[in-house]
Every structure is written in structure tokens, then in C-alpha cells.
Amino acid sequence: MIPLRYLTGGVLLGMAVVASVTREPAVLAACLAVALLVRRFAFHGRTAWLSLVPIVTFAAGLALLEQLSRGAVSWLPARTIVVFLSLTAAARLWPWADLLDRARPGSVLWTPVLFALVTHHFVGILGTETVRVLRARSLRVSHRFGPGAFRALSWALVGIVMRCWVRAERFYAAQRLRGLAT
């Protein structure tokens, strides 16, 4: 099982690189299909899809800005989504404990693995905070597309950023005290 998880994680990582440079819509679509397929197995529950709201909103904002500034939308927003989907699925599948056993302190792998673990942990926090804020919004907004719903959504997104900011600050402080941030 562990070799398969390494292999799938590696493929997803490769896909993220390909998606970030390709100019072929077909390649991008193929990467998207594979990433979505893997996510279906790697993430469970309805909330898994809710965690995509911020990245989709970010990509939509990016597309809007491109349209306003130069009258055309590039593939950048689509690439952003594919890279995000591939990387989050890879992070979920990667056998972190096994990787940590292989990367001992002082080895070349140690710092990158530690960095990846911190990023992985923080993506989890981002997901949890996103779900929490969007759930709070849905309890207050009875009609998803009714009056005030989009205003509530935009404030919910601001709320996510603020909460993640606070969490990031505390996490950094805690690791700094443990001597890991220097």
C-alpha cells in the first residue's frame, strides 16, 4: 500500500508541475480529471467539496481581474485549480510517517520534509476553518442565492482569511518557542 501511495503522490506532484507549464487545454483537462478522480478516493464526505470554495473563488477572482484588465482570460485560473487539486490530493495520500522515518535529522530530506509537514498541517487548518465558517454562514442564510447571500459569502471568506491569520500566528509562535522556526 505504501509504495502505491508514494507512486500516486509522485504522479500527482508531476501533474501539478505539468499543469503549471502546459499550454495544451487537453493536457490540463486530463490532469483535472485525474486529480478529481484521486480526490474522490482520498477525501470523503460532503465537506470535502466545500473546502474547494476558497480556491474556486480565488480562481474566479483572478479570471475577473484578467477580463477587466486585458479583455481576455488566460489559462492561469484553470491551472491554479488543477495545481491545488493535485497538490492537496498528493498531500493527503503521501505516507508522511514513513517519509519521516526515512528522513532523519541532518539528512538532505529533513528540512523539505519538515516544511512539507508544516504546510500539510496548515492546509488542514485552512480546510477546517473553511468548513466551520461556511457552515456558520449556511445556518444564517436560508436561501443560498437569495438577497444578502453573496455579501454573507464574501464576509465569510474574509472571516476565513482572518481566522487562518490568527492560527498561523499562533502556530508560528509555538514552533518558534520549540526552536523550530530559526
Residue window 10-49: x/- pattern of binding to another protein, with contact defined by CB under 8 A:
----------------------------------------
Alpha-carbon gap, residue 161 to 164, rounded angstroms: 5
Rg of the chain over all Cα atoms, to the nearest angstrom: 18
Residues 43-102 that bind another protein (CB under 8 A): 96-97, 100
Backbone angles phi, psi at 65, to 5 degrees: -65, -40
Alpha-carbon gap, residue 75 to 63, rounded angstroms: 9
Alpha-carbon gap, residue 37 to 89, rounded angstroms: 10
Give the residue with the Cβ less far from another protein, 71 or 179. Answer: 179
Please state the closest distance from residue 11 (CB atom) to another protein, in A: 21
Q: Contact with another protein (CB under 8 A): which of 58, 73, 75, 124?
A: 124
Please state the closest distance from residue 32 (CB atom) to another protein, in A: 29
| Residue 151 contacts another protein per CB under 8 A | no
| Residue 117 contacts another protein per CB under 8 A | yes
| Residue 121 contacts another protein per CB under 8 A | yes
Residue written as grid cell 484588465: 69
Please state the closest distance from residue 47 (CB atom) to another protein, in A: 15
Query: Is residue 129 classed exposed, middle or buried when 0-12, 13-18 and 19+ CB atoms within 10 A define those classes?
Result: buried
Please report which helix (H) or strand (E) contains residue 141, including its range: none
Binding site for another protein (CB under 8 A): 96-97, 100, 104-105, 117-118, 120-121, 124-125, 167, 170-171, 173-182
